Amino acid sequence: MIRIMHQRVKPIVSSSAWFFFKLMNVSGAEAVVAAASPWVGMGESACLVKPYVDIMTPSELHLIMTSGSLVFCY
């Protein structure tokens, strides 16, 4: 079941992240978190970019926290 969900969600997140990265001029980590938040949740989407947290700027970290919180508004 999880494998089927992963196969269906991965192309949606990838295309959404590419859209955010190219047209909205955000970093790749920000784009991935913003695209994944509605699908996997606030905590899990932040875990996708865990290796990059040490080198992120404060504004990138703020965007990650904000985009995760916006999932509650849906």
Residue 1 is predicted with a pLDDT of: 52
pTM: 0.73
Task: Tell me which residue range forms the domain holding 38.
Answer: 2-73
What are the distances in angstroms from CA 74 to CA 28, 29, 35, 55?
23, 22, 14, 30
Sign of CA dihedral 35, 37, 38, 40: positive
Say how many domains are in the chain. Answer: 1
Counted residue by residue, the chain has a size of 74
Q: Going residue by residue through the chain (74 aa), what tens digit of pLDDT does each one get? A: 566 666 777 888 888 888 888 888 888 888 888 888 888 877 788 888 888 889 999 998 998 888 877 767 65
Let me know: does 20 contact 26? Beta carbons within 8 Å.
Answer: yes
